[in-house]
A = this chain, B = another copy of it.
Amino acid sequence: MWGVEGIGEIRPGDQLGEIIVSACAPGTDDELHDGDVLVVTQKVVSKAENRMVQIDPTNPLSHKKLVEQEAVRIVRRRGDLIITETTHGFVCANSGVDLSNVEAGWAALLPIDSDRSARRIGDIVKARLGIDVGVIVSDTFGRPWRKGLTDVAIGVAGIAGVLDLRGTEDALGRTMQVTEVAVADEIAAGAEMVMGKSSGIPVAIVRGIDPRWLRSSSMSELVRNPQEDLFR
């Protein structure tokens, strides 16, 4: 896995898929291959899809109002920290409304449908280069009980969200009972390391993914149904 150089700043209305195709064109160091997975950070997807909203940087309520508008439920609140459930079913800080890596006075909302965002990028790669890639839109989420943030998938296309290994055998030939591996989250987490938070690299290529993982998918594989959730 490595970061794609030269994507540059993304602006509202930019055709992100076309920009990625140019950066990963045949003959470049970042030439895409069949079966590669592209990981694209939420920030550039939100920018391209014009999910940018003006806020008053001198008024913290301005940000807070957006957070509440994007939430369907407040999960926890302590001081300035608000953990919410978004319309997508994601549980994250501040409904994913983000002020970092955006210009002062602006906030980036999550894409309305990140699966669709991922699918669009994959479709453009297919149309322009004739090859099939998986696409993951990634974002940085916290989690209970552990410190630090990791990147997770918030949109998937052409790459499994969760791999269901139930019923297959372990290395000792015993049937595995409950092993569902969140491969899209593992790919997003790994790819974060080659993009970084401050280096301005919004796209990574992951090569060598098991071809069986490349299939149609959606975030419903990864977002837990509230009824099944032990922590609701």
Q: Residues on A close to B: CB < 8 A?
A: 1, 76, 78, 81, 83, 85, 90-91, 100-104, 140, 143-152, 161-163, 165, 168-172, 174, 176-177, 179-183, 185-187, 189-193, 197-200, 209-210, 221-224, 229-231
Contacts and interface: CB of A to CB of B under 8 A. Distances in A.
A66 to B, nearest CB: 17
A221 B172 contact: no
Contact of A1 (B85, B162, B180, B190): B190
A89 to B, nearest CB: 8
Nearest to A89: B145
Given A101-B171, A190-B193, A198-B170, A224 B145 contact: yes
A144 B181 contact: no
B172 A193 contact: no
A80 to B, nearest CB: 10
